[in-house]
Copies of this chain bind each other. A is one copy, B any other.
Amino acid sequence: MDELAKQHNHQRCIDDAMTQARELCQRRQIKFTAIREQVLACVWAKHQPIGAYAILEELAKDSTRRPAPPTVYRALDFLLDNGLVHRIASLNAFIGCKDPSHHHQGHFLICRHCRNAMELDTDIINSAINTAATQHGFAVETPCVEVVGCCANCQELNRNA
């Protein structure tokens, strides 16, 4: 069974991510400001990629003032630059990185049904890409792999439906 399908204490997911982010920023001497923290919390609220404007809506709920788009995009740029979130190009959306300690692009399995996205941490795909690229003399910099399909849990649900 898929790990996302298991009952998991998601608050713990969020707390871990926030703690890790705080520590990482401290180590790197960069500022984890209130806005950046709020945006990261939004991104981690679910395992589904979230759009910039959806984040904006969430921020608007939490305070009386509604931030302008650049506020959100700047926070996202910061988080992207520091590997705390990834951008899913095919969805124009953002998702928390599950291992910000080292820079990487990440490969994603995106379920078309529940919209959850899972970050893979295998080298298999990168190796394959490098092999194929090398055959053409191409030097890989940032591979982008976003696989849409159906997650284990949703397959299960569909079978029982």
Asked if B139 and A155 make an inter-chain contact with CB atoms under 8 angstroms apart, the answer reads: yes
Asked if A129 and B147 make an inter-chain contact with CB atoms under 8 angstroms apart, the answer reads: yes
Asked if A89 and B146 make an inter-chain contact with CB atoms under 8 angstroms apart, the answer reads: yes
Stretch with Cβ within 8 A of B (4 or more), from A20-28, A61-69, A118-126: A118-126
Asked if B132 and A142 make an inter-chain contact with CB atoms under 8 angstroms apart, the answer reads: no
Asked if B149 and A120 make an inter-chain contact with CB atoms under 8 angstroms apart, the answer reads: no
Tell me whether A35 is interfacial, beta carbon within 8 Å: no
Q: Which residues of B contact A143 (CB under 8 A)?
A: 145-148
Tell me whether A60 is interfacial, beta carbon within 8 Å: no
Which of under 10, 10 to 19, 20 to 34, or 35 or more describes the interface residues of A?
Answer: 35 or more
Instruction: With CB as the reference atom, state the residue of chain B lying closest to A1.
Output: B137
Tell me whether A112 is interfacial, beta carbon within 8 Å: yes
Asked if A149 and B144 make an inter-chain contact with CB atoms under 8 angstroms apart, the answer reads: no
Asked if A149 and B145 make an inter-chain contact with CB atoms under 8 angstroms apart, the answer reads: no
Asked if A118 and B146 make an inter-chain contact with CB atoms under 8 angstroms apart, the answer reads: no
Instruction: With CB as the reference atom, state the residue of chain B lying closest to A127.
Output: B128
Tell me whether A90 is interfacial, beta carbon within 8 Å: yes
Q: Which residues of B contact A118 (CB under 8 A)?
A: 136, 138
Residues of chain A whose beta carbon lies under 8 Å from any beta carbon of chain B? 1-3, 89-90, 107, 109, 111-112, 118, 120, 122, 124-125, 127-129, 131-133, 135-152, 155
